C-alpha cells in the first residue's frame, strides 16, 4: 500500500470515528500534508526514504507543543492556546518526514487514568458489542487513534503509566522509555521528574521506528541524557551478556488480591509461553512496591501544584471575565486538576513537607534500590548518582514481566455515574496505576503489549468468544535496556492463548 | 517608666527637615500658626529665622541622640541583614536572553522567562563567575555541590508562580565581612567589628511592575530572571549605624570585586533587615535565629532602598518594639515596610498572613557542581579589596587622608581610583628619581586635583565620570608644571577648565601658545605693585598696622594679582613683599 493510501485511510477513519473523541484537533481532509506524503512516496519508490517514518501519520498528544495546531492540554485554561514553538519531538518527527496527524485527547494536563477529565469530553473505547469502555489515561486519545487506525503511531506522555495503561485497555503497544532519553522540551510539564514522552503503535516494530527518531540528546532539555552518558549506557549494554535463555523475573508483590481473574490468567499464560520458548522464570521481591503508589500520589501532585502555578491568564491562556487569579484558575482547571493541585500544595506546605514529600522521596529511593537489587545489570548512571546507595550484590534477572493494570477497562458509564461518588472513582482510578508507577519512580523503560485470551470468561464484558479478551502485559527492564524491553515485548505481542 | 520623648512633637518632626523646598515647616511654631507666613506685623527676619531653625534642629538632634543612648542602656538591639544584589552578567540565570536595565520593555525575554508551557530552564554557567567572586570576596566556603529550589507565591511579577532560588543548599556559606571605624560603624563598636555571613545564594529577580491607578498594571519582563545573589548575615549587629555601614560595606565589596554593576541608588541592590530587642540584664529571650539563641521575637522590614533608609527604619522599628514592650504588649513575628521620610515602620503582613513558600527542589535544574580549580583561579585573580586599597592609599606610598582615600575607592566603580593611579604613575615618571617624601607630596597633590578640582568641574557641569574628559597625562603634566612653579595655581585651574571644555592641545603646547607659563616678576616689579596698592588704600594699611588684622593682607595680595600681569603674580611672593612694606616699614 502506498503511503498516500495509508494516510488517506487514516484520515477517513478520523472522520468515521469522530464519535470516539480521540482527537481534540484533527487535521483537515485536504491539506499541505497530502503533498508531503506524496513526496515521501516518491522518495520511497526511489529507495531514499528519509527514515522509517517518512510519510507516516503520527498523532501527537495535546500536551505536546505544536506551532501549527493548538495545544490545549484538554484544559479550559488553555482551550484556545497556540504555542509559539514546536516541541523537539515534533521537530524531530517532521524532519524525519513524518506528518502530524492531529492533536489527541487526554486527561487534563495528563492527570487521570481514564481520559474522562477533558474539557473536550471523554475519549471512548468502544467494544465489539458497542459498549463504551474507558480508553485508559491519560494518553487515551493517542491509544484510541492508534487502535482505530486513525494514524500510524502516536506520541503520548507517561508520568505514572499514562501510555502503558491506555495501551493495555485498547489492545495496543505502549512504550515508556528510560527517563531522559527523549527530549521533554515543548512537552507541557505535569511532574517533571517523572514525565517521559511515550510511544504508541499497533506493533512494537512501529514503536521502535519512532523511537529511533526521538532517541537523541537535546540541549534544550536540562534533563536530557548527555551524549557522553549515552555512550556509557551503550557500552554497558553492548558489553553485557544477556542470558540465553532469558531469565524472566516475576515480582511476587504484584500478585495482589485485587487482580482480576482475566488479568491473572493472561499473566500466567504469558509466563508459561515464555517458558515454552525456552526462557526461565524466577520469582523476585520488590518490597517497596506496596508504598510506591502512595509515594507517587504525593510526588506527582506536589510537582504538579508547582508546575501549574504558571497558569494565571496573564501572559497567555484563557482569563476569566473577572480576572483574579482565583477566578481564572477556578474556572479554567477541571476537578481532577484542582484536586491534585490542592493535594500537592498541602504536601509541600511547611507543616506537611517532612511527613509527605520527604517521606515519599525516601520511598522513591527504596523503589529504585529494589529494582537495582533484582536486575543482573547495574544502573549505568548509578555509579555517579548513587554512589552512597550501597546496593548489595546485583540480582539475576534480565527483565521483569507483570500485568500492566489489575483489571480490564471499566465502563465509562460506571466512571461517570452519580452513584459512584467522584472521590471514590478517582481513588479507584489511582489504584489502576499500581503496576505502572514503580517503573516511573525509578525512571526505567517499560512496555505494555497486548495478549489475547481466546476463551470467554464468565464475568466478561465482551461476550464475543471468537474475538477473545485482550489484556496488557508489561515488561520492565534496567535503565538503558530499552531495546531488550522491546524485544521481550515482541515475544509476547499479539499472542493468542487458549483457555 | 514613661519616656517623654516618644510622644513629643519633636520626634515626629524629625523626618521632615529633609525637604529643602519647604523650610518653613521645620519650625514647630510655623506648623501651628500658618498666619506667620504672611502676617507682616510679627514677621521674623529671615536670618533670625534660619538661626532659630538651625538651633532647634541641633537641639532635636541632641535630644534624639540622648534618647537613643538612654534606650541603648536599657535595651539591646539585634539586627540581621539580607542583601539582594543584581549580578553583572550578560545573560539571565536560566535563559540566553540578555540582561538589561535600559532596553525597551519586554524586549529581552525568552520563552522560559515568560513561563511558556513546555519551556525549560537553561542554566547560564557564566552567571556563576560574578556570584563566585562575591562569595570569595566575602570569605565564604564555596560549596562543591549546591542545588536550586522553587519558592512559590502568586504575583504578576513572577510568571512561573515560583522563584528559583537556593533554599536548602546554597552555593556559599560561612563567610564574614569586617567593618572598621572609617566605615561609619557606631562608636561603641570600636575600631572593628566582624559580621558573619550565614550564606550566599543564587536566585532569579522578578519582573518590574508599574501601577497606573485605578486599573492599569504594566509589566516589564526584561528584569525577570536577572541573576541575583542574596547575602544573609548572622544576627550580630547591635546598632542602626553599624547595620547601615554593613550594607554600605557589602555594596562596596561587591562593586570592587566586579560582582555587580549598580548599587542601591540605581536599584541594583535592595536590603531587608530583621530586628529584635531584649532588655539588658534580664533572662535571655526565647527566640533563636541562625543558631544564635536568647533573642527576642524579631520582625522583618522589607525592601529598603538606601543606606539611610536602613538606619532610619531600624531606629523606628526598635523604638516601636520598645514602646510596645514597655506598655505591656508583645512583639509579633510580622513583616513590615518602610517609606522614605517616614518615622514609623508599617505593617505589611501579620504572622497569620505569613506566606508558606512551599520550597521544593526544582526537578528540571541539575545540581551545581563547582570545581576547586575554578575557585582557586578566582581567588588568585580577585581584585584588591577596598580595605586593602585603603591601607595602600593611606600608607607611605600615597599618604592620602582617609577622607580622600575613601571617595577615590568608592567613586565610579573604581574608575576614579584607576585614573588617580595613572596620574600618579605619569607624574612620578616625569620626575624621574624621587625620594619617598617627594613622591607623597606628588600623590597628595594628585589626590586633591583628581577629587576636588576635577570633581568640582564634573559636579558643576553635571557630567558623569569619563576618564577621557581630561586625559590622565594632561592632568599629570599640569600638576607637574604647578609643582615645579612653572605656572601659578589659578593658571592651573584655568587650564584644567580649558581641557575639561575640550581643548585637546598637549599641555606644554597649550601653555606656550596661550602665554601662560610663569615668567617670574623681579623684586622691583613686586615692590611697585605693592606700593601702588598700599597708596590707594591707606585706611586698610592703618587697620592692619594698628589692629594687627593680618587677614587683610590677603586682600592686598588679591589687588596685586589683579593689577599685575595676568598669571605672573605669585601669591606667596606678593605677600612676602607686602609684609615687608606694611609691617616692617
Assembly ipTM:
0.94
Task: Give residue A467's pLDDT.
Answer: 61
User: A309 and B154 in contact by Cβ < 8 A?
Assistant: yes
Chain A positions in Cβ-Cβ contact with residue B123 (cut-off 8 Å):
222
User: Residue B62's CB: how many other CB atoms inside 10 A?
Assistant: 10
Residue A348 has pLDDT above 60, yes or no: yes
Q: Which of residues 137-196 of A touch B (CB under 8 A)?
A: 184-189, 191-193
Task: Indicate the pLDDT class of residue A62, thresholds 50, 70 and 90.
Answer: very high
> Considering the domain boundaries, does residue A415 fall inside one?
no
Catalytic residue (choose from A118, A138, A425, A440): A138
Q: Which residues pair with A197 in a beta bridge?
A: A157
Q: What's the DSSP call for residue A127?
A: -
Catalytic residue (choose from A113, A134, A162, A347): A162
Chain B positions in Cβ-Cβ contact with residue A308 (cut-off 8 Å):
161
Q: Which residue has the cell 587677614?
A: B551
Chain A positions in Cβ-Cβ contact with residue B365 (cut-off 8 Å):
222
Of residues B42 and B430, more confidently modeled = B430
Partner residue opposite B156 with nearest CB, options A87, A185, A314? A314
Cell numbers for A159, please give them.
Answer: 508520568
Task: Indicate the pLDDT class of residue B202, thresholds 50, 70 and 90.
Answer: very high
| Residues B487-534 pLDDT 10s | 888 889 999 999 999 999 999 998 888 888 888 888 888 888 888 888
User: B358 and A349 in contact by Cβ < 8 A?
Assistant: yes
Task: Give residue A392's pLDDT.
Answer: 54
> Considering the domain boundaries, does residue A50 fall inside one?
yes
Q: What's the whole-model pTM score?
A: 0.83
> Considering the domain boundaries, does residue A487 fall inside one?
no
User: Residue B467's CB: how many other CB atoms inside 10 A?
Assistant: 13
- Give the strand pairing for A153-158 and A57-61: parallel
User: B364 and A306 in contact by Cβ < 8 A?
Assistant: no
Omega into A469 within 30° of 0, i.e. cis? no
CB distance from B349 to chain A under 8 Å?
no
> Considering the domain boundaries, does residue A14 fall inside one?
yes
Q: Which of residues 366-405 of B touch A (CB under 8 A)?
A: 366
Task: Give residue A326's pLDDT.
Answer: 94
Q: What's the DSSP call for residue B150?
A: E
C-alpha B343/C-alpha B13 separation (Å) is 9
Domain CATH number, residue A135: 3.90.1300.10
CB B437 within 8 A of CB B490: no
CB distance from A384 to chain B under 8 Å?
no
* Residue A165 half-sphere exposure toward CB, CA atoms < 13 A: 38
> Considering the domain boundaries, does residue A413 fall inside one?
no
Q: From the candidates A62, A188, A220, A222, which should be mutated to test the interface with B, based on the most B CB atoms within 10 A? A: A222
C-alpha B422/C-alpha B476 separation (Å) is 9
Domain range enclosing A78: 3-228
For range B328-348, the mean pLDDT:
90
Local structure of B557: helix, strand or coil: helix
> Considering the domain boundaries, does residue A330 fall inside one?
no
Task: Indicate the pLDDT class of residue B11, thresholds 50, 70 and 90.
Answer: very low
Chain B positions in Cβ-Cβ contact with residue A312 (cut-off 8 Å):
154, 156, 161
Partner residue opposite B366 with nearest CB, options A71, A222, A348? A222
C-alpha B95/C-alpha A450 separation (Å) is 43
- Give the strand pairing for B208-212 and B216-220: antiparallel
| Residues B260-312 pLDDT 10s | 987 777 778 899 999 999 988 877 778 888 888 888 999 999 999 899 999 99
Task: Give residue B234's pLDDT.
Answer: 96
Three-state secondary structure readout of B182-201: HHCCCHHHCCEEEEEEEEEE
Cβ-proximal residues to A43 (8 Å cutoff; 6+ apart), any chain: A49, A50, A54, A55, A97
Cβ-proximal residues to B496 (8 Å cutoff; 6+ apart), any chain: B449, B453, B454, B457, B470, B475, B478
For range B385-396, the mean pLDDT:
89
Residue B448, judged by CB atoms within 10 A of its CB (0-12, 13-18, 19+), counts as middle
* Residue B243, CA distances (Å) to B79, B177, B186, B187 in order: 7, 12, 9, 13
| Residues A361-379 pLDDT 10s | 999 999 999 999 999 988 9
Q: C-alpha dihedral over B308, B311, B317, B318, to 10 degrees?
A: -160
Task: Indicate the pLDDT class of residue B102, thresholds 50, 70 and 90.
Answer: confident
The shortest C-alpha distance from B107 to chain A (Å) reads 15
| Residues A408-428 pLDDT 10s | 999 999 887 655 545 556 667
Task: Give residue A419's pLDDT.
Answer: 55
CB A104 within 8 A of CB A62: yes
> Considering the domain boundaries, does residue A337 fall inside one?
no
Number of domains within chain A: 1
* Residue A135 half-sphere exposure toward CB, CA atoms < 13 A: 31
C-alpha B500/C-alpha B373 separation (Å) is 46
User: A189 and B118 in contact by Cβ < 8 A?
Assistant: yes
> Considering the domain boundaries, does residue A481 fall inside one?
no
The shortest C-alpha distance from B40 to chain A (Å) reads 58
The C-alpha angle with vertex A149 and arms to A146 and A155, in degrees rounded to 5, equals 25
The residue among A117, A197, A421 whose CA lies nearest residue A140 is A117
Partner residue opposite B120 with nearest CB, options A78, A193, A222? A222
Amino acid at each position: 500500500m502506498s503511503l498516500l493510501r495509508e494516510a488517506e485511510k487514516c484520515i477517513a477513519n478520523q472522520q468515521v470515528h469522530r464519535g470516539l473523541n480521540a482527537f481534540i484537533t484533527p487535521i483537515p481532509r485536504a491539506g499541505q500534508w497530502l503533498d508531503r506524503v506524496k513526496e515521501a512516496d516518491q522518495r520511497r519508490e526511489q529507495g531514499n526514504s528519509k527514515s522509517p517514518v517518512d510519510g507516516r501519520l503520527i498523532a501527537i498528544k495535546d500536551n505536546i507543543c505544536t506551532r501549527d495546531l493548538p495545544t490545549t492540554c484538554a484544559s479550559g485554561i488553555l482551550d484556545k492556546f497556540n504555542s509559539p514553538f514546536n516541541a523537539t519531538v515534533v521537530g524531530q518527527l517532521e524532519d524525519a518526514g513524518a506528518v502530524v496527524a492531529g492533536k489527541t485527547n487526554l486527561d487534563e494536563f495528563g492527570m487521570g487514568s481514564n481520559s474522562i477529565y477533558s474539557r473536550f469530553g471523554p475519549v471512548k473505547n468502544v467494544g465489539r458489542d458497542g459498549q463504551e469502555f474507558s480508553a485508559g489515561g491519560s494518553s487515551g486519545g493517542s491509544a484510541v487513534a492508534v487502535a482505530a487506525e486513525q494514524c500510524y503511531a502516536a506520541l503520548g506522555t507517561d508520568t505514572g503509566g499514562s501510555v502503558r495503561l491506555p495501551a493495555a485497555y485498547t489492545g495496543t503497544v505502549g512504550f515508556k522509555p528510560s527517563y531522559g532519553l527523549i527530549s521533554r522540551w515543548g512537552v507541557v510539564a505535569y511532574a517533571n521528574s517523572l514525565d517521559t514522552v511515550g510511544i504508541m503503535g499497533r506493533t512494537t516494530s512501529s514503536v521502535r521506528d519512532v523511537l529511533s527518531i526521538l532517541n537523541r540528546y537535546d540541549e534544550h532539555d536540562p534533563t536530557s541524557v548527555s551524549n557522553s552518558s549515552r555512550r556509557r549506557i551503550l557500552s554497558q549494554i553492548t558489553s553485557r551478556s544477556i542470558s540465553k535463555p532469558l531469565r524472566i523475573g516475576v515480582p511476587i508483590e504484584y500478585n495482589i488480591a485485587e487482580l482480576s481473574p482475566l488479568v491473572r490468567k493472561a499473566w500466567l499464560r504469558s509466563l508459561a509461553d515464555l517458558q515454552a520458548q525456552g526462557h526461565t522464570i524466577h520469582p523476585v521481591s520488590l518490597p517497596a512496591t506496596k508504598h510506591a503508589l502512595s509515594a507517587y500520589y504525593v510526588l506527582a501532585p506536589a510537582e504538579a501544584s508547582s508546575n501549574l502555578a504558571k497558569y494565571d491568564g496573564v501572559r497567555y491562556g484563557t482569563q476569566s471575565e473577572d480576572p483574579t487569579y482565583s477566578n481564572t484558575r477556578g474556572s479554567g482547571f477541571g476537578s481532577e486538576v484542582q484536586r491534585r493541585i490542592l493535594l500537592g500544595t498541602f504536601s509541600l506546605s511547611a507543616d506537611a513537607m517532612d511527613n509527605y514529600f520527604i517521606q515519599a522521596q525516601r520511598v522513591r529511593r527504596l523503589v529504585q534500590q529494589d529494582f537495582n537489587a533484582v536486575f543482573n545489570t547495574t544502573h549505568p548512571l548509578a555509579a555517579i548518582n548513587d554512589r552512597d546507595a550501597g546496593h548489595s550484590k546485583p540480582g539475576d534477572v534480565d527483565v521483569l514481566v507483570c500485568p500492566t493494570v489489575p483489571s480490564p477497562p471499566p465502563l465509562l458509564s460506571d466512571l461517570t455515574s452519580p452513584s459512584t461518588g467522584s472521590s471514590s472513582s478517582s481513588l479507584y482510578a489511582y489504584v489502576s496505576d499500581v503496576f505502572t508507577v514503580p517503573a516511573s519512580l525509578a525512571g526505567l523503560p517499560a512496555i505494555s503489549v497486548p495478549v489475547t485470551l481466546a476463551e470467554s470468561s464468565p464475568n466478561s464484558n465482551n461476550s464475543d468468544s471468537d474475538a477473545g479478551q485482550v489484556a496488557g502485559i508489561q515488561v520492565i527492564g534496567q535503565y538503558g535496556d530499552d531495546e531488550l524491553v522491546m524485544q521481550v515485548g515482541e515475544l509476547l505481542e499479539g499472542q493468542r492463548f487458549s483457555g | 517608666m514613661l519616656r517623654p520623648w516618644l510622644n513629643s512633637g519633636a520626634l515626629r518632626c524629625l523626618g521632615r527637615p529633609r525637604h529643602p523646598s519647604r523650610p518653613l515647616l521645620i519650625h514647630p511654631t510655623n506648623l501651628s500658626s500658618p498666619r506667620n507666613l504672611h502676617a507682616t506685623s510679627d514677621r521674623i527676619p529671615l536670618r533670625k529665622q534660619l538661626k532659630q531653625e538651625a538651633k532647634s534642629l541641633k537641639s532635636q538632634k541632641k535630644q534624639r541622640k540622648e534618647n537613643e543612648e538612654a534606650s541603648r542602656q536599657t535595651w539591646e538591639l539585634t539586627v540581621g541583614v539580607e542583601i539582594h544584589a543584581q549580578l553583572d552578567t550578560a545573560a539571565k540565570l536560566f535563559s540566553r536572553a540578555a540582561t538589561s536595565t535600559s532596553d525597551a520593555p519586554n524586549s529581552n525575554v525568552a520563552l522560559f522567562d515568560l513561563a511558556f508551557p513546555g519551556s525549560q530552564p537553561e542554566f547560564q554557567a557564566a552567571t556563576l563567575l560574578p556570584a563566585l567572586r562575591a562569595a570569595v570576596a566575602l570569605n565564604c566556603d564555596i560549596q562543591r555541590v549546591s542545588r536550586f529550589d522553587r519558592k512559590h507565591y502568586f504575583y504578576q511579577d513572577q510568571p512561573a508562580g515560583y522563584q528559583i532560588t537556593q533554599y536548602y543548599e546554597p552555593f556559599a556559606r560561612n563567610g564574614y565581612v569586617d567593618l572598621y571605624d572609617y566605615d561609619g560603624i557606631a562608636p561603641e563598636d570600636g575600631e572593628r567589628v566582624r559580621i558573619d555571613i550565614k550564606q550566599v545564594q543564587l536566585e532569579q529577580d522578578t519582573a518590574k511592575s508599574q501601577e497606573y491607578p485605578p486599573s492599569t498594571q504594566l509589566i516589564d519582563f526584561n528584569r525577570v530572571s536577572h541573576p541575583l545573589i542574596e547575602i544573609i548575615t548572622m544576627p550580630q549587629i547591635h546598632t542602626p549605624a553599624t547595620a547601615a555601614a554593613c550594607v554600605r560595606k557589602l555594596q562596596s565589596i561587591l562593586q570592587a570585586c566586579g560582582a555587580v554593576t549598580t548599587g542601591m541608588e540605581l536599584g541594583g541592590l535592595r536590603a531587608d533587615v530583621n530586628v529584635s530587642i531584649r532588655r539588658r540584664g534580664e533572662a535571655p529571650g526565647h527566640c533563636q535565629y541562625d543558631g544564635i539563641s536568647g533573642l527576642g521575637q524579631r520582625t522583618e522590614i522589607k525592601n529598603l532602598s538606601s543606606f539611610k533608609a536602613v538606619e532610619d527604619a531600624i531606629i523606628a522599628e526598635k523604638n516601636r518594639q520598645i514602646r510596645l514592650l514597655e506598655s505591656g504588649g508583645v512583639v509579633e513575628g510580622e513583616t513590615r515596610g518602610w517609606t522614605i521620610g517616614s518615622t514609623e515602620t508599617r505593617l505589611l503582613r501579620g504572622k497569620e498572613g505569613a506566606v508558606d513558600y512551599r520550597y521544593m527542589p526544582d526537578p528540571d535544574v541539575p545540581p551545581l557542581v563547582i570545581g576547586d580549580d575554578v575557585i582557586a583561579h578566582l581567588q588568585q585573580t580577585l581584585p584588591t579589596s577596598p580595605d586593602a586599597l585603603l591601607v595602600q592609599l593611606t600608607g607611605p606610598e600615597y599618604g592620602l587622608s582617609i577622607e580622600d582615600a575613601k571617595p577615590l575607592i568608592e567613586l565610579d566603580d573604581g574608575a576614579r581610583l584607576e585614573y588617580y593611579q595613572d596620574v600618579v604613575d605619569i607624574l612620578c615618571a616625569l620626575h624621574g628619581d624621587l625620594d619617598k617624601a617627594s613622591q607623597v607630596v606628588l600623590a597628595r597633590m594628585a589626590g586633591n586635583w583628581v577629587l576636588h578640582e576635577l570633581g568640582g568641574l564634573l559636579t558643576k557641569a553635571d557630567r558623569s565620570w569619563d576618564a577621557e574628559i581630561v586625559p590622565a597625562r594632561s592632568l599629570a603634566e599640569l600638576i607637574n608644571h604647578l609643582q615645579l612653579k612653572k605656572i601659578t595655581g589659578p593658571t592651573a585651574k584655568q587650564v584644567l577648565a580649558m581641557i575639561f571644555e575640550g581643548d585637546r592641545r598637549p599641555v606644554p603646547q597649550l601653555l606656550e601658545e596661550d602665554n601662560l607659563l610663569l615668567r617670574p616678576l623681579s623684586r622691583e616689579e613686586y615692590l611697585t605693585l605693592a606700593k601702588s596698592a598700599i597708596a590707594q588704600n591707606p585706611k586698610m594699611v592703618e587697620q592692619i598696622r594698628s589692629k594687627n588684622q593680618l587677614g587683610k593682607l590677603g586682600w592686598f595680595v588679591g589687588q596685586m594679582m589683579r593689577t599685575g600681569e595676568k598669571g605672573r603674580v605669585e601669591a606667596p611672593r606678593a605677600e612676602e613683599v607686602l609684609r615687608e612694606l606694611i609691617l616692617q616699614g
